[in-house]
Structure formats: structure tokens, C-alpha cells
Amino acid sequence: MAMVLEFFVERFLLKITNFAAGEICKVLCVREEVETLERRLARIKGFLLTAEQRRHVDPATDTRVRELKDVMYDADDIIDLCIIEGGSLLKSRASTTFAVCNPSSSQSSSYFGSIKHRYEISGRIKRLNDRLKEITEDRSTIPDVENVKIDPPHRPERSPGTPSIEVKADIIGTQIEGAAQNLINSIVEISEKPKCVVFGIVGMGGIGKTTLARKVFNDERIIQNYPIRVWLCVTKKYSETDLLKEMIRSVGGNVEGAKSRAELERKLVSLLSKNLLLVLDDVWSPEVWEDFLKNPLMHEAASNCRIVITTRDENVARNLGDNVHHVEKMDEECGWELLWKTVWDNREKGDISRFKEIGTKMVQKCDGLPLAIKVLAGALRSRRSTMEWEKVLRSDLWKMKKLDENVLGVLFLSYEDLPSHLKQCFLHCSLFPDKADMYRKDLIRLWVAEGFTEENGELSMEEIAEGYYEDMIWRNLLQVDPTFVDGSRCTMHDLLRSLAQSLIQGEGVYVSDLQSLNSDPLTKLRRLSTSNIGERIQLPDRIVEEKCLRSLLIFDSPRARTIGDDLFKKLRNLRVLLLNDTSIESLPKSIGELSHL
């Protein structure tokens, strides 16, 4: 996950100010170097945000920002080390004083060893100051350009403990509503004679394919005609057995005892005693149906089924059948309707006609894509004047061209509209696997562990992080799973995930195969997320040798049973460890030596 410099420096300055004024700094004899570091960081605050934005269009600025982040990570590690080591010195202060008076004492070597350690820490801080001085003196690479960030919104405060997430039907435009009814009619009215019929929904990313499929999936007529309904998200690198297991569980079955594909197929067929509607969301290859699911669903013992697939590739849909529906871009009127419905929701609307001209111009910039319009609406929700809307319309961030080619400028604009703590949370979500369900409780724990929460005397860290979760939902950057009425499960659209990944810049990454991890000499990986690990958790030599990893997240690795003791001995800066869906029963003793964890 990429560090947001503005947030990190602000938080670090508070930490280092408190440290410089404390007893530990005095004991370690590093106050002079620490205060120098504090002054230099305070001087660069003014252009940090500008540099973060400019880095995406200027390679020289990007290099300097990477170097600054590297310094900040190292500085944070050193100050934490000072706090830990200094605390130990304070505890042993009385005994070391005795050792000075009695050189023959066995503790004298410990005393002189601590002096050597102080010099080492002081030297590391001095070298950091030298690096920071070299970077910041070259202002030509980080000039004081105009700050193009739109003003941060001021969202009305929520009462603590009052849930603000209301799970309800997704807001859709009349265009998608009409398309959904046509597709539902086709599915319900088609002859019962064909055992399986495939319907394709085709369109570019963000155009509303999943929204349309969800509307069909939850329709009352569909529920009446198809008692068994299953929704499967299909990733590019899907596992046949995992998809079969998920489908079996979705229809109320148990996968215990079935390991092979043939065993799972037989179990699935035995459960399909009633009509089935199956949605395969985001299909990239026709093989998922032709070579895999078609066999059990066409079995003579299975009931009739209707398959709805969503895909960006028309060839995939055509290969599966003739019932193909193309999702069209929204016209201006439908786009404006979707925008104002999402912005005002059920609140007092007032006179919205004065916003329509500006809003329609912004809808045009969204290229008729519902996702872009909804994310834009999330940034506009707290803006109650036409002047504020005009500022958004004129923002240079619409023109951002240097990001991933699949990322729209409006998505980057909405990201830049976030306060720095929410930027961190948004970027962190890209560490989850593609199409992963994210649970509120997991995100809250991770965000607190990562240090993203800003202290508030009235609320606990967990309550603050829960507010961040609600803000992300409110801004349409995370989508609540409608089957969870309490809003506790969500997903992130793959276009938003692509944006987050494009902003990571090598600091954090999710990889499904550790062997495919690319090496970037300009950065040191700080956060690593992966899945489908084998029996023993091992990391690439490059990661271990750098000794910079702060977070290690392991997902969906039921085969993983052991962790090498030497791994934690080398990853001394590890602060966050997540072992999700593994078979690990015990951790090596060396984990107790990780002082940051």
C-alpha cells in the first residue's frame, strides 16, 4: 500500500515532537539529531501534497517522492526503535549507574555496549538527515506549483454508535431499469424445453453490467420461477474446484469428503432438484462454461437452468449463445438523473434545477459510465452550492492521463478529493485479492493496526475506523453487498482497484503467485499480500534481504501449515500479520521477538 506523504509526515511530526521532548530521547543522547530531522520535515510540508499529484505526470518528481517516502519509512522505523530501546535503557538505568561506579561489575560490559548502541542509533538518524537534506535542497524537481486539489468536503458529523449505512436497492437510472425488465422478460418467457439457456450481458468496465445482472437476480418473477439462485464472481485465474465448492455451498450443500472435480460435479448435480438461475459475473473466457460448468448443469438428473454471464468481451458472449444484451452508455438525461438521485438520495433536495447545467457537463466528462457518475456523486454529496460544483467541473484532475489506461480521470479526481486518512484506507483495499469480499470487522482491524486512524479523545480507534468504513461507502468507493443487511460486507469495483494499484508504485502489492513478483530497484516493498500459498510460507529472497516489509497478508491458503522460524528473525520491521484461511496451528517462537507487531 502506498504511503500518502501528507498523512505520514503529519503523523510522524507529532510522534517525533513528543519523542524529542521526552526522557528517552535524553537517555539516548540523540536530541540534536532528532530536532534537526523534525525541522527539515516541517519545512517540506508545504509542497508534499503538490509533489504527490505532480509525480503522476513528471518522472523527476516521481523519483524524488519515492526517495522521500523511503526516508520517511526508515525514519519511522528508527524512532520506533529508539522508543523501544530507550524504554529498556530507562528500566536498567539504576543498575547501569552502579556498573559505572564498579567497573569490575559484570554489568559494566552491558553499560558500554549500550553506549555503542546509542552511537549507532545517532549515526543512523544523522544519515537520514543527510539524505533528507540532499532531496529537499533540489527544489527544481519538486517546485511549488499550483495546488489543484479540490477543497475537501465537510461531512456532517454522525452521532457515535449510530449506523449510517442503509442497505437498500441500488440507485439505477431509467435506462438500466428498462434494460433489466427486457432481460427478465426474456428469461421468464423463454420455452422450458431447452435444458440450459445462456444470456450474455456485454459492455465496457463501469458501464453497469453487474448492476443490471443484480437487478435481474433480485427480481420477484425470477425468484418465483427459479427457486435456486447462485451468484459467482469469476476471476481471470479462477480455480475450477474452488468455483464448484462455492456453488455447492451456495445451494446449501456440503463439500466435505469431495476433493476431485468429478466428485464435486456429482455432488452438485444431486443438489439441483429445482430450476436454477446462475450468474457468472465478469467472465473473461468461454471455457468457464464450455469446459467446466456445462457438464454438471446439462446432466439429465439436473433441473432446468438459465445462465447469465457478464463480460467485457463480446466474443466470449457470442461463443456461449445468441442471447446477447449490449449495455449502452447512459445518455445525458439518464446520466443527470442518476447523478442527482445519488447526490441527494432521500435528503431535502431543494431547488436542484440550478445545478443541472453544471451537473450535465460533468456527466459528459463521465463518458456515460454509471460507475464514474456514482463515484463523482460521492465527491459532490457534501457540496451544497453551485460555486463548489463549478470548482469540481474546472479541476485539472479530469485530464489525468498518466495512470493506468483503464482508469478514468473522474476516479482519480474523486480519490484526490479524499482526506489523507481515507486515501490510505482506499489504497489498502487493493491488497485484497481480485473480486474478494471484504468484511467491515477485518478492514477496521487492519486500518487500526496500520496506524491509519487519527486519535479522537471521545472515540476508540475501532469506532474511528468504522467511521472511515462508512465514509468509503458513502462516497461510493466501496459497494455494500446487499445480501448483508447490516452493511458488514463490501466489494471494490475492479476499475477502482486498478486505480489504487496504479497509485501503489511498488510500495505494496497483491500477487497470486510470489514467483511472479517483479523487482523494482527504485523502491523497497513495504506491504505484501498473496494467496494460494503452498504448505510452507516462504517469501522471495529479495523481500527477506531488504528487511523492510511492514505488512504481510496471506489469504485463501488452506494448504499452508508451517512458517519457517528464520522468516520472522529477518523481518524485524513487521507490524501487521494476517493469516486468513490457512491451516497453520502454531507460530514459531521468533514471532515474540518482533517488537513492532
The 10s digit of each residue's pLDDT in 512-526 is: 888 777 766 667 889
Beta-strand ranges (E) seen in 485-547 are 489-491, 508-511, 527-531, 536-537
Distance in angstroms (rounded) separating the CA atoms of residues 589 and 570? 13
Helix (H, G, I), strand (E, B) or coil at 551: strand
Asked if residue 391 has pLDDT above 90, the reply is yes
Torsion of CA 356, 359, 365, 371, to 10 degrees: -120
Shared-domain flag, residues 433 and 516: no
Lowest mean pLDDT among 83-97, 207-221, 280-294, 572-586: 83-97
Q: For the chain, what is the mean pLDDT? A: 81
Share of the chain above pLDDT 90, in %: 25
Lowest mean pLDDT among 30-39, 152-161, 250-259: 152-161
Q: Which of 380, 374, 389 is nearest to 417 (CA)?
A: 380
Confidence of residue 147 (pLDDT cuts 50, 70, 90): very low
CATH number at residue 200: 3.40.50.300
Whether 86 maps to a domain, the answer reads yes
Element of type H or E holding 418: none
Q: What is the pTM assigned to this prediction?
A: 0.84
**Cell numbers linked to 597:** 507487531
The verdict on 356 and 487 lying in the same domain is yes
Last residue of a domain, one of 444, 468, 496: 496
Q: Looking at the predicted structure, is the pLDDT value of residue 63 above 90?
A: no
Residues 355 and 431 in one domain: yes
Q: Are 488 and 394 in contact (CB under 8 A)?
A: no
Show which of 460, 476, 496 is a domain's final residue: 496
Among 326, 354, 381, residue at a domain's last position: 326
Please give the torsion angle defined by the CA atoms of residues 234, 240, 246 and 252, in that order, rounded to the nearest 10 degrees: 130
Residue 231 is assigned to a structural domain of this protein: yes
Question: Measured at the alpha carbon of residue 14, what is the angle toward residues 9 and 19, in degrees to the nearest 5?
Answer: 120
- Read off the pLDDT of residues 92-140 as tens digits, 9 standing for 90 and up: 654 544 444 444 444 444 443 456 667 788 888 888 888 888 877 765 5
312 and 193 housed in the same domain: yes
Angle at 194 between CA 193 and CA 197, to 5 degrees: 140
Q: Parallel, antiparallel, or unpaired for β 479-480 and 489-491?
A: antiparallel
* Nearest residue to 450 via CA among 406, 366, 394, 508: 508
In a domain, 150, yes or no: no
Residue with cell 548502541: 117
SS3 317: helix
Whether residues 337 and 482 share a domain: the answer is yes
Is residue 160 one of the residues assigned to a domain? no
Asked if the structure places residue 32 within a domain, the reply is yes
Q: Is residue 295 part of a domain?
A: yes
> 519 or 457: whose pLDDT is higher?
457
Residues 321, 186, single domain; the answer is: yes
The pLDDT value recorded for residue 217 is 93
Instruction: Give a yes or no: residue 406 inside a domain.
Output: yes
Instruction: For residue range 350-368, list pLDDT tens digits in order.
Output: 667 889 999 999 999 999 9
In order, the DSSP letters of 101-132 are H-TTSTTHHHHHHHHHHHHHHHHHHHHHHHHH
The CA distance from 340 to 353, in Å, is 10
Q: In this structure, what C-alpha cell is assigned to residue 569? A: 528473525
* Domain limits for position 313: 175-326
Q: Is the pLDDT of residue 377 over 90?
A: yes
Q: Which residues of 313-350 are buried (b: 16+ CB within 10 A; e: fewer)?
A: eeebbeebbebbbebebbeeebbbbbbbbbbbeeeeee
Residue 326 has pLDDT above 80, yes or no: yes
Per-residue pLDDT tens for 537-560?
888 888 888 888 999 999 988 888
Name the more confident of 163 and 66: 66
User: Are residue 196 and residue 269 in the same domain, yes or no?
Assistant: yes
Q: Is residue 271 part of a domain?
A: yes
CA distance 293 to 198: 12
Residues 242 and 311 reside in one and the same domain:
yes
Domain count, the chain: 4
Q: Tell which wins on pLDDT, 233 or 294.
A: 233
pLDDT value at position 144? Answer: 45
Whether pLDDT at 393 is above 80: yes
Same domain, 367 and 487: yes
